[in-house]
Amino acid sequence: MAAQDGQEPRETLAAGERAARLAARAERRQGGFEHVALPPLPDVPGMIAPAEQRYLYWLTRATFAGQGAVVEVGTWLGKSALHLAAGLRDAGLGGTLYCFDRFRWREPAEGPHGLVQGSDTLPLVRATLLPVHRDVVLTATEIKDLRWQQGPIEILFLDAPKAHRPFVRCLREFGPSLLPGVSLLASQDFAYPRAYAQALCLGRLVDRLELVHVAGNLAGFLVRKPLPQGRELAELLDERSFAAEESLRLWDSFLARIEEQKTRRQMRPGICLHLYARGERRLACRLIREMEFTPHMRKRWAGWAAERETCRLYRGLFAALGLVPARRFPWPFRRERR
């Protein structure tokens, strides 16, 4: 295991210090993590908010205890990985950061450093991360092909799986390597309405995963008991089994535990996307009409309504918000001939 030049990791961590770091991780904290002073870091484009950046740095800097790997799924250009890596460096305890992503530039528009659609982003991300922390392993993969055989995981940061199937796939692959009382699962976009699958799945695992942190849209869950494995987990989290009543209950129980009003308010309508997608359209439309939408939220939802495929999936919901016209019969209306 290599260390940052001039910063050899300390060989061992005294039991007391390890316990103190794990205790810091287990403490309940919500907010902007303003107490965290970030070191100077390269300016990398990224999708995570400043509070989320500070949280990730704090997580490795203040709570990494040398008990397993730090794993990220969803690296993009390396902003989140940079904060995890800098925290490992500054903790001085070694530790390997594994990053999984497609590492392909998918946008039609040109990206930084001349990236064009289809470009391999891995060399660029590697060049960003290695000067900060040398013990970084980058793997280009699709989530469905991802394999984890590198042992225990202390910190698992998920920022690629937003939909149900890839989220369960990640839990299934990494779950057996999470250590009760030690490991933390950080779920990016937990409070983002379109990532509603995360809260529903995590809600079903509430007796094993305890919500301890919220920073922006990111939620950290301490592993209290082993997760069910393999088929058992897949069956427990079967997408078709999330009926309206239970889903609403899980949603409300998380909302009740989120302290920041802004985060609660923006998360709340996410359940309507789930209900609508399940076919509970009347209920979804009725609920969303009763919800408070700030101008900022309305603008964001209008942006989704303008996406062709998203609008096709949730048209009635967007119509209930007055963002698109309600569907009308195509004209001229033709009767089917017998």
Ligand X SMILES: C[S@@+](CC[C@H](N)C(=O)[O-])C[C@H]1O[C@@H](n2cnc3c(N)ncnc32)[C@H](O)[C@@H]1O
- Per CB under 6 A, contacts with ligand X among 245-274 are none
Complex with ligand X: residue 47 or 306, whichever CB lies closer: 47
The yes or no reply on residue 22 touching ligand X (CB under 6 A) is no
The yes or no reply on residue 111 touching ligand X (CB under 6 A) is no
Select from 55, 64, 76, 301 the one that contacts ligand X (CB under 6 A): 76
The yes or no reply on residue 120 touching ligand X (CB under 6 A) is no
Complex with ligand X: residue 136 or 275, whichever CB lies closer: 136
Select from 31, 32, 46, 176 the one that contacts ligand X (CB under 6 A): 46
Sign, Cα dihedral of 238, 241, 246, 251: positive
The yes or no reply on residue 166 touching ligand X (CB under 6 A) is yes
Minimum CB distance to ligand X, residue 12 (Å): 32
Select from 9, 68, 74, 203 the one that contacts ligand X (CB under 6 A): 74
SS3 for the chain is: CCCCCCCCCCCCCCHHHHHHHHHHHHCCEECCCCCCCCCCCCCCCCCCCHHHHHHHHHHHHHHCCCCCEEEEECCCCCHHHHHHHHHHHHHCCCCCEEEEECCECCCCCCCHHHCCCCCECHHHHHHHHCCCCCCEEEEECCHHHCCCCCCCEEEEEECCCCCHHHHHHHHHHHHHHECCCCCEEEECCCCCHHHHHHHHHHHHCCCCEEEEEEECCEEEEEECCCCCCHHHHHHHCCHHHCCHHHHHHHHHHHHHHCCCHHHHHHHCCHHHHHHHHHCCHHHHHHHHHCCCCCHHHHHHHHHHHCCHHHHHHHHHHHHHCCCCCCCCCCCCCCCCCC
Residue of 69, 66, 128 whose CA lies nearest to 91: 66
Q: Count residues contacting ligand X (CB under 6 A)?
A: 15
Q: Convert residues 213-252 into a mask of x (bound to ligand X by CB under 6 A) and - (unbound).
A: ----------------------------------------
Select from 124, 160, 197, 205 the one that contacts ligand X (CB under 6 A): 160
Interacting span for ligand X (CB under 6 A) from 68-76, 175-183, 224-232, 252-260: 68-76
The yes or no reply on residue 102 touching ligand X (CB under 6 A) is yes
Complex with ligand X: residue 167 or 254, whichever CB lies closer: 167
Complex with ligand X: residue 129 or 214, whichever CB lies closer: 129
Complex with ligand X: residue 112 or 152, whichever CB lies closer: 112
- Per CB under 6 A, contacts with ligand X among 47-66 are 47-48
Minimum CB distance to ligand X, residue 310 (Å): 16
Binding interface with ligand X (CB under 6 A) = 46-48, 74-76, 79-80, 101-102, 142-143, 159-160, 166
